[in-house]
Structures are given as C-alpha cells and as structure tokens.
C-alpha cells in the first residue's frame, strides 16, 4: 500500500482540522500524526517543533485570507452594468457561504478563537476586517448619489455593517458546528456537506439591503 504524501501544507491543514474539533491548545502532535496515519517522529522531518508549525499555520492562514474578499476585482468591474445595491446583497450572502467550505471554515474558527491569545493571529484578524470594511466603503461610495455622507460617515457605516456581518457569521457557523456535535457519528466532514440555511441567507440579504439603501436615498 502506497504511503500518503506528506508535506508541510498537508500537515498544516491536518492541524487546523484537528483544532477545528478540539481547539489548537488541546491539539497535540500525536493528534496530528494520528490524523495523517503517520508516526509522530515523521512530523519532525517538516517542523522542528510545534512552535515552528504554529508559525507556519499563521502564515498559511494569512496568505489564505488575502484571497477571501467580500467582492473580487472581477465582480467590482460589474458595477458599471449591474445595480450596485443588488450586487452588494449578492456579495454579502456569498461572503457568508464562502465560510461554509473547507478549509476556510477551519481557518475562520482557528483565527476567531486564537485572536484572544496571540498577537500574530489578532493582526491577521484585524487585517481581514479592515480589508472588508474598505470593500464595503467602495460600495457605499458608489450609491452615495446625494453625496449626503462624507468619507468619515461612510467609513463608520462600513465598520457597523462589518460588525453586523461578522456577528451573523459567528452565530451561523457556531450553529452549523453544533449540528455535528449533536450527531458525532456523522463525522466533522459531514459539516461541509450541509446545505446553506436559506432563512439565514435571507437575513443577510435584508441586512445588506437595509444598510446600503441609506446611501441610495
């Protein structure tokens, strides 16, 4: 039987998967090696210690988050032909849905829990929030037809929207994860096969519509 191909990325993803189930603080090298079906000693071929592995995890999460946007450059280019308010609602819903997918779900859970204990993780979290706030501000500026809101007001409203969106996301993912906790025989992997909660997505859409309409008046 061929041995599984093990590299740093696979170890990092396995560590995040294990941490998703029990938290990184309670995740041991034995947990990771058992998940990969390899000997613990084999991990040292790639990382000299758990601390070095954690640094690599921070870098992995930071790099991955750089690709996670409320709106991509390609989507933003559509604002010339698509009503910005409609696109904003769609992008807001899709941003939530992106977090249902492996490995972003694990990354989000890791960042959200570890930000209280590690400055590197907190910096990753703050950088992501700032990026999303800037993208939201671009939408608000597009529909600020009456020019009744200055940049300071737009920035404040963008921060408020991001706070609300993040709160919705936290609750949504926590409920989805609890679904698996209540049905452990299905396995954590089943979490990513769950369909989206249409009711929750409607709430996100309404929240986005309510917020952006302030600028369209």
Q: Would you state the pLDDT for residue 27?
A: 94
- Burial category of 211 from C-beta neighbours within 10 Å (exposed 0-12, middle 13-18, buried 19 and up): buried
Sign of the four-CA dihedral 197, 103, 116, 153 = negative
Residue 170 tokens read as: 């936290």
Residuewise pLDDT in 10s, the chain (217 residues): 445 688 999 999 999 999 988 889 999 999 999 999 999 999 999 999 999 999 999 999 999 999 999 998 888 877 777 788 899 999 999 999 999 888 999 999 999 999 999 999 999 999 999 999 999 998 998 888 666 788 899 999 999 999 999 999 999 999 888 876 676 555 555 555 677 889 999 999 999 999 998 887 6
Give the single-character DSSP code of 39: -
Q: What is the CA radius of gyration of the chain?
A: 20
CATH class of segment(s) 8-55: mainly alpha
Q: Would you state the pLDDT for residue 142?
A: 85
Secondary structure of 47-95 as H, E, C letters: CCCHHHHHHHHHHHHHHHHCCCCCCCHHHHHHHHCCCHHHHHHHHHHHH
For every residue of 185-207, DSSP letters joined together read GG-GGGGGGSPP-HHHHHHHHHH
d(C-alpha 13, C-alpha 102), whole Å: 10
Q: Are 70 and 132 in contact (CB under 8 A)?
A: yes
88 HSE (CA, 13 A, CB side): 28
Q: Would you state the pLDDT for residue 1?
A: 42
Chain-centre distance of CA 149, in angstroms?
Answer: 30
Q: Are 36 and 125 in contact (CB under 8 A)?
A: no
Question: Over the stretch 18-34, which tens digit does the pLDDT of each residue have?
Answer: 998 888 999 999 999 99
Q: Is the pTM higher than 0.85?
A: yes
d(C-alpha 15, C-alpha 29), whole Å: 8
């Amino acid at each position: 039987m061929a041995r599984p191909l093990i590299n740093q990325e696979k170890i990092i993803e396995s560590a995040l998967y294990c941490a998703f189930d029990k938290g990184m603080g309670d995740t041991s090298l034995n947990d990771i090696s058992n998940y990969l079906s390899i000997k613990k000693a084999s991990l040292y071929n790639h990382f000299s210690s758990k601390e070095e592995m954690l640094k690599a995890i921070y870098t992995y999460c930071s790099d991955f988050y750089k690709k996670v946007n409320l709106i991509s450059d390609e989507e933003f280019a559509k604002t010339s032909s698509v009503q910005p308010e409609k696109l904003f609602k769609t992008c807001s819903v899709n941003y939530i849905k992106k977090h249902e997918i492996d490995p972003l779900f694990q990354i989000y859970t890791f960042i959200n829990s570890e930000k209280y204990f590690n400055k590197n993780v907190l910096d990753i979290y703050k950088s992501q929030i700032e990026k999303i706030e800037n993208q939201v501000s671009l939408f608000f500026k597009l529909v600020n037809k009456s020019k009744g809101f200055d940049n300071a007001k737009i920035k404040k409203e963008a921060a408020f929207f991001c706070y609300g969106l993040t709160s919705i996301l936290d609750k949504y993912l926590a409920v989805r994860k609890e679904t698996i906790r209540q049905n452990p025989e299905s396995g954590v992997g089943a979490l990513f096969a769950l369909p989206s909660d249409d009711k929750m997505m409607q709430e996100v859409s309404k929240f986005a519509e309510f917020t952006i309409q302030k600028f369209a008046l």
